[in-house]
């Protein structure tokens, strides 16, 4: 199986030994605590579940500055975005101290992890702005990722962690949330060798479904892992439980048995476009996928990125940095001429009117009115789930 990023074995930071974990939970109740934000809590989940291999905790400011500028830590390890625990003030904290990190997303704010503080650094406004520009390609606070990044605390608390739980992800999505280790184990059990990963933060329409098939056929893949983000999104995005229902229904009805794994991971969307695409590749290498589908405007938002910036960034990465390979995909749509879904660049004789194309706004209007998009755009079973969601919102 493909090796994890940066190591021969996966180093998940969740404390799997139940006796040790119970003891640490008891200890956490006696320790000084830090109220962390949702981004840091999601980072802890990703560290605990092995997707952030080989990191051992939260980066210090020097490493955050380094990965923002050059996509490498000060140690030389390749990494595309900061993994930080940022707070507004740390006057009561000291280096060497052991603290409990309190989860803001679970009632009662239980400790999600125990951390040994290795560094406490305050970033300047200029450093925050520079990092935002390097990570997101913008400092415009209308960009949801930039807004979240610039509003977070300026004090960076670095250090190794031991993860005590997976926040709300395991309880809210028991059939979907999977750690990188669990997916690796399932891939082994399935005897899959070539595995395509598909990243999604949206329900999958027919074009997405067919894109997975196209990639599987061309790569002669044994299976596809549909890997959905289960964390925080920007306002207006489809909630994770609704997306989960849509994707599971689509996979159950339209894919052969044992050809697709529907899974999810606990992370808050960055909307960092190209940088996040590279981060997505690391996630998927760590979970055992050999290929990641990167499509048009992957992990993008608005008009902040070029249509294929998330593909071309991989051309800038030194050869051998990542073992996972990228399947570069174009926008897919139903061809009226060919009576099937195609990648649009592979139909040069087509005009725009030869495709079934609907804007997101138009689709939302239809669903809100109880009207299913045409079957060339969306499976009827998926449309019905979305219609019910939008009607509840009204």
| Catalytically annotated residues | 201-202
Q: How far apart are CA 275 and CA 53, in angstroms?
A: 17
- Residue 7, SS3 per DSSP: coil
Report the alpha-carbon distance of residue 68 to residue 75 in Å, rounded: 14
- In terms of Cβ atoms closer than 10 Å to its own Cβ (0-12, 13-18, 19+), residue 352 is exposed
b/e for 33-66, b at 16 or more Cβ within 10 A? ebebbbbbbbbbbbbbbbbbbbbebbbbbebbbb
For 328, the 3-state DSSP assignment is strand
Do 347 and 338 form a contact (C-beta atoms < 8 A)?
Answer: yes
Ramachandran bin of 265, using left for φ above 0, alpha for ψ from -120 to 50, beta for the remaining angles: beta
Give backbone dihedrals phi and psi of 63, rounded to 5 degrees, phi first: -70, -40
H/E element, 207: helix 206-219
- Going through the chain in order, the beta strands assigned E by DSSP cover 33-35, 57-58, 86-87, 98-102, 111-122, 155-163, 195-200, 223-229, 260-265, 291-294, 325-328, 332-335, 340-343, 355-356
Query: Quick one: 291 exposed, middle or buried, by C-beta within 10 A (0-12, 13-18, 19+)?
Result: buried
Q: Terminus-to-terminus CA distance in the chain, angstroms? A: 48
101 bridge partner residues: 34, 113
Query: Quick count: other Cβ atoms within 10 Å of Cβ 347?
Result: 16
């Amino acid at each position: 199986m493909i090796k994890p990023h940066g190591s021969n074995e996966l180093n998940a930071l969740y404390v799997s030994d139940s006796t040790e974990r119970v003891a640490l939970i008891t200890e956490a109740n006696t320790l000084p605590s830090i109220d962390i934000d949702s981004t840091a809590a999601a980072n802890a989940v990703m560290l605990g579940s092995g997707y952030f291999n080989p990191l051992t905790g939260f980066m210090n400011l020097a490493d955050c500055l380094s990965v923002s500028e050059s996509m490498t830590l000060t140690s030389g390890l390749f990494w595309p975005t900061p993994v930080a625990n940022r707070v507004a003030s740390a006057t009561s904290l000291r280096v060497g101290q052991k603290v409990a990190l309190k989860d803001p997303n679970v009632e009662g704010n239980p400790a999600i992890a125990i951390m040994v503080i290795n560094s406490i650094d305050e970033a300047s406004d200029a450093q925050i702005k520079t990092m935002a520009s390097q990570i997101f390609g913008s400092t415009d606070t209308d960009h949801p990722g930039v807004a979240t990044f610039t509003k977070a605390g300026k004090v960076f608390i670095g250090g190794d962690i031991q993860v005590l739980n997976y926040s709300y992800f395991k309880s809210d999505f028991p059939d979907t949330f999977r750690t990188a280790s669990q997916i690796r184990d399932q891939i082994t059990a399935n005897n899959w060798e070539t595995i395509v990963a598909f990243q999604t933060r949206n329900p999958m329409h027919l074009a997405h479904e067919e894109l997975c098939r196209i990639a599987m056929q061309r790569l002669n893949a044994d299976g596809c892992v549909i890997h959905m983000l289960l964390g925080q999104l920007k306002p207006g995005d489809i909630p994770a439980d609704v997306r989960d229902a849509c994707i599971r229904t689509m996979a159950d009805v339209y894919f052969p048995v044992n050809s697709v794994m529907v899974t999810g991971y606990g992370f808050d969307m960055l909307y960092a476009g190209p940088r996040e695409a590279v981060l997505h590749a690391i996630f998927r290498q760590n979970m055992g996928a050999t290929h990641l589908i990167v499509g048009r405007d992957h992990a993008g938002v608005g008009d902040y990125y070029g249509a294929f910036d998330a593909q071309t960034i991989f051309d800038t990465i030194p050869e051998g940095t990542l073992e996972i390979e990228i399947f570069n995909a174009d926008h897919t749509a139903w061809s009226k001429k060919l009576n099937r879904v195609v990648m649009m660049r592979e139909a040069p004789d087509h005009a725009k009117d030869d495709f079934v194309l609907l804007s997101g706004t138009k689709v939302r209007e239809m669903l809100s009115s109880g009207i299913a998009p045409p079957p060339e755009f969306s499976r009827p079973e998926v449309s019905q789930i979305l219609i019910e969601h939008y009607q509840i919102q009204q």
